[in-house]
A and B are shown apart, each in its own frame.
Chain A
Amino acid sequence: MYTISVNNQTYDVDEDGQTPLLWVLRDILKMTGTKYGCGIAQCGACTIHVDDQPMRSCTLPLEVASSYRITTIEAVEGTEVEAVRAAWVARDVPQCGFCQSGQIMSAVALLRTIPSPSDSDIDTAMSGNICRCATYNRIRAAIHDAAGTLKGAAE
């Protein structure tokens, strides 16, 4: 039995400690906003925040996750999240949308670390999130938009 903290709530999960957190989130807690893309940490669709650091939940065992504060796309919040959401809607970023919750979790973490990222910063932070619809240009533009919103709000 493991106790995990997800989105500021604690849950008791009676599963093998090596179970990837992704499956605990999706199959047991029914939080299906976090997506299963590849299962081998190659696509970034399952990105969550672990104590505010973006991590891939497909390769994070339950027994490790129980030591940290987990945040998923369902409950991530803050000024960066609002700016990213508005920019994503304004730019109509998603095409099929499957990768987008992972993209957004990485983008939010990037803006929290580097509020005004350069193209290079964006490429580095987002390199682990792939999009088969190739919405990369819109993602990059939306991150710049969100950074502009944050900068405007700070001034």
Chain B
Amino acid sequence: MSPSGPAEPRRRRFGIGFFFRTLGLIFVVVVILGLVYLLYPRPMLQSEPIEAPQAAAQVDHLRPVSDFDNIADLRARSVALFEEAGRVIQNPRCMNCHPRSDRPTQTDAVRAHTPWVSRGFDGGGEPTMRCSTCHQNENIEASGVPGNPLWHLAPIEMAWQGKTLGEICEQLLDPARSGMSREELLHHMAEDELVGWAWNPGGDRTPAPGTQQEFGAIIAAWLDTGGACPQ
């Protein structure tokens, strides 16, 4: 069995051609699988309504005025009423706009407002950096920026931060500092629209306790009982 005639060319089973054919086949398979993945029908993303603000059931109510009737001493009753009102007055929603400096604070942590802003001549910001640069007439859910048509800081004479509840009480009753008579003070607390924002702060801000109506009733009863201040 010796070889005779021209030798048959040796067939290379795993030659370079085979390698490229396999590579080409893998490439075609990957492209087909990729196209199947890309073209496979799937639901389009739909816009969804933003979740409604927190449920009313979570309201942390203020004590009703009748709860204080059993305090016989009128002055003690008045002080107790103001201390209940203090739960609202010393809430971050109120304190943040009654800062001790020209800069408002923000969040439940009562930290400095970002960006840097200053009260300006009317409490509505500096002429070149007005509150309305960012704050609209209503809370904006998309950005989380709170708002109200009257958005502005309390005057510096009405700074509450760093003061005791008793000091705030004395300040409220002093027309030279509050700029308000007792009737105007009651209106500010019970009916002012910007004050009312504290119970509807939007975003993830914690509302002031109770409702503005409950708070107004407490303030009215406090003034009716002589407007006594805690020590």
List A residues at the B interface (Cβ < 8 Å): 16, 18-20, 39-42, 44, 53-56, 58-61, 64, 109-110, 113-114, 121, 123-125, 127-128, 130
Contact = CB atoms under 8 A, between A and B. Distances in A.
A20 B128 contact: no
B181 interface: no
B91 interface: no
Interface residues of B, number: 22
A114 B141 contact: no
Given A59-B134, A60-B136, A128-B134, A41 B145 contact: yes
Residue among B127, B129, B132, B143 with max Cβ neighbours from chain A (10 Å): B143
B142 A18 contact: yes
Interface string B136-154: 1100111111000000000
A44 B115 contact: yes
A59 to B, nearest CB: 4
Contact of A124 (B118, B141, B142, B144): B118
A118 B128 CA distance: 13
B143 A39 contact: yes
Contacts of A58: 142-143
A61 B136 contact: yes
Nearest to B147: A59
B117 interface: yes
Given A59-B142, A128-B116, 14 more contacts: A18-B141, A40-B143, A41-B134, A44-B115, A53-B133, A54-B133, A59-B140, A60-B136, A113-B128, A124-B118, A124-B126, A125-B128, A127-B129, A128-B134
Contacts of B126: 124-125
Contacts of A64: 136-137
